[in-house]
């Protein structure tokens, strides 16, 4: 009996020692140099593989329909955002890899044209969640800043790579409409859903306005400056100092600071107010970002805020409080602000828990979806487009 207990104790001890050795080493099997994910010049291996998969989706209508239908069962927004992220990625890729520019431009045009066609034929609700129809938009006629901002940024990104005369009036009309609504709104807040405004959508729309100014020689810098001043004053969570993610049309907060929002917001702000953008990134990194045993991830809320899992956060993995949505979006901010340590640790987690699947040089993450992979592609390629606007090199 004593001998048996001794053997069991020896077995348990061996297991504990083995775990103490193995667990800290596990990340080494998934960690790669950050250049595997993102490079200063050209395209990283990961960007090429992810892009190959997306380009295949846009040349194979059956495959594309299957992917988009799976996402639309959960959230029609993802169908739309997957298009936006891919177009923005392809614009950056065109600047990084001029030899492939014709292919990228063709795909961008195909996505933009199809998106505009669907918006026109099916109406704006086609890309919104069903609850958009439950109430009436306060501002009439109804518009969603979510759609208008991202479409404007798609059009502007395409024109940044190479002018397309047909898109010039489309961008001008869309931007003028957004600006007009900003000017009419007493609080400078525009709805994405009825009486529901999103920080993410405002920042993307302001990026589009800034880019349109650059392209067409207009100046809405006062509008952008005033909006950011208002946001700093009224839309910041006082405890974390992080911009809140959603609010009513009168500015009443709806949700607090959220990872699924702030990482993209910080990236968008970089084009508008670099110091504020970096401040927001640093606060988000401190309050939401984490690295455990070499694996990077992100929480959806800082410790000072209690929220419930939703369609944006994705399921929250207990104990570590890992949010799939926030962790995915963290790639964009870490890449924007050159936080290589965090970016490499996020990439290690992605290869560990994202279930990569490679076929013929094409990469997808099974634990992700088309919009998730498109956001990752954007994180792997972003930079040149913002840089072009900031440095003033006109196309």
Partner 1 sequence: MKIFSGKKPAVFQRAEFLSAKDMLQRAAAISVIFLMVHLAGFREYTGILNGTIGSLALGWNLSAFLAVIYIVFYLAFIVLVPVLVLAAIFLAVWQRFHGKSSP
Give contact residues for partner 1 (rule: CB under 8 A). 4, 7-8, 10-12, 14-15, 17-19, 21-23, 26, 66, 69-71, 73-75, 78, 311, 314-315, 324-325, 328, 352, 355, 357, 366-369, 372
Question: Of the two residues 257 and 354, which places its CB atom closer to partner 1 in the complex?
Answer: 354
Question: Of the two residues 7 and 390, which places its CB atom closer to partner 1 in the complex?
Answer: 7
Contacts of 100 (CB under 8 A, 6+ apart): 93, 94
- What does the angle CA 298 – CA 17 – CA 28 come to, to the nearest 5 degrees? 40
Minimum distance from residue 71 beta carbon to partner 1 (Å):
6
Question: Of the two residues 153 and 350, which places its CB atom closer to partner 1 in the complex?
Answer: 350
Question: Of the two residues 7 and 184, which places its CB atom closer to partner 1 in the complex?
Answer: 7
Q: Distance between CA atoms of 370 and 83, rounded to whole angstroms?
A: 9
Using DSSP's 3-state secondary structure scheme, residue 142 falls into coil
Minimum distance from residue 311 beta carbon to partner 1 (Å):
6
Minimum distance from residue 62 beta carbon to partner 1 (Å):
13
Question: Of the two residues 66 and 254, which places its CB atom closer to partner 1 in the complex?
Answer: 66
Task: Classify burial at 394, counting beta carbons within 10 Å of its beta carbon; exposed 0-12, middle 13-18, buried 19 or more.
Answer: exposed
Count other Cβ atoms within 10 Å, centred on residue 187.
14
Q: At what angle do helices 45-57 and 370-381 cross, to 10 degrees?
A: 140
Q: Distance between CA atoms of 145 and 325, rounded to whole angstroms?
A: 21
Question: Of the two residues 161 and 298, which places its CB atom closer to partner 1 in the complex?
Answer: 298
* Gyration radius of the chain over CA positions: 22
Minimum distance from residue 196 beta carbon to partner 1 (Å):
20
Question: Of the two residues 270 and 323, which places its CB atom closer to partner 1 in the complex?
Answer: 323
For tokens 């992080």, name the residue.
242
Minimum distance from residue 278 beta carbon to partner 1 (Å):
28
Pairing of the two strands 316-317 and 295-298: unpaired
Minimum distance from residue 369 beta carbon to partner 1 (Å):
4
Contact 378, 334 (CB under 8 A): no
Minimum distance from residue 319 beta carbon to partner 1 (Å):
14
Q: Distance between CA atoms of 55 and 50, rounded to whole angstroms?
A: 9
Question: Of the two residues 16 and 177, which places its CB atom closer to partner 1 in the complex?
Answer: 16
Contact 217, 172 (CB under 8 A): no
Minimum distance from residue 8 beta carbon to partner 1 (Å):
5
Contact 286, 301 (CB under 8 A): no
In degrees to the nearest 10, what's the CA dihedral of 15, 16, 18, 22?
Answer: 130
Question: Of the two residues 62 and 366, which places its CB atom closer to partner 1 in the complex?
Answer: 366
Contacts of 365 (CB under 8 A, 6+ apart): 350, 354, 355, 356, 357, 372, 373, 376
Minimum distance from residue 17 beta carbon to partner 1 (Å):
6
């Amino acid at each position: 009996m004593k001998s048996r207990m001794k053997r069991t104790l020896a077995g348990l001890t061996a297991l504990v020692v083995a775990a103490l050795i193995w667990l800290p080493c596990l990340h080494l099997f998934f960690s790669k140099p950050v250049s595997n994910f993102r490079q200063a010049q050209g395209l990283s291996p990961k960007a090429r593989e992810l892009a190959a998969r997306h380009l295949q989706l846009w040349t194979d209508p059956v495959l594309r329909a299957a992917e988009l239908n799976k996402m639309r069962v959960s959230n029609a927004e993802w169908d739309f955002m997957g298009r936006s992220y891919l177009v923005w990625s392809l614009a950056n890729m065109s600047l990084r890899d001029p030899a492939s520019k014709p292919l990228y431009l063709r795909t961008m045009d195909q996505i933009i044209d199809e998106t505009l066609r669907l918006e026109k034929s099916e109406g704006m609700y086609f890309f919104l969640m069903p609850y958009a129809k439950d109430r009436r938009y306060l501002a009439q006629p109804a518009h969603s800043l979510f759609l208008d901002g991202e479409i404007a940024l798609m059009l502007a990104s395409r024109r940044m790579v190479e002018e397309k005369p047909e898109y010039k009036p489309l961008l001008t009309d869309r931007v003028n409409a957004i600006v007009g609504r900003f000017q009419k709104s007493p609080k400078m807040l525009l709805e994405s859903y009825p009486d529901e405004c999103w920080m993410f959508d405002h920042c993307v729309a302001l990026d589009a306005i800034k880019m349109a100014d650059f392209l067409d020689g207009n100046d809405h810098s006062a509008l952008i400056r005033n909006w950011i001043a208002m946001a700093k004053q009224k839309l910041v969570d006082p405890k974390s100092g992080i911009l809140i993610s959603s609010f009513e049309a009168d500015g009443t907060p709806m949700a607090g600071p959220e990872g699924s929002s702030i990482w993209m917001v910080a990236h968008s702000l970089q084009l508008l107010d670099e110091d504020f953008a970096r401040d927001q990134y640093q606060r988000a990194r401190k309050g939401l970002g984490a690295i455990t045993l070499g694996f990077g991830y992100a929480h959806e809320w800082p410790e000072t805020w209690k929220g419930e899992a939703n369609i944006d956060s994705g399921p929250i993995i207990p104990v570590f409080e890992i949010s799939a949505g926030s962790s995915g979006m963290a790639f964009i901010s870490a890449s924007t602000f050159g936080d290589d340590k965090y970016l490499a640790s996020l990439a290690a987690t992605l290869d560990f828990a994202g279930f990569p699947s490679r076929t013929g040089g094409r990469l997808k993450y099974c634990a992700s979806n088309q919009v998730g992979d498109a956001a990752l592609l954007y994180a792997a390629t972003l930079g040149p487009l913002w840089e072009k606007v900031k440095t003033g090199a006109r196309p």
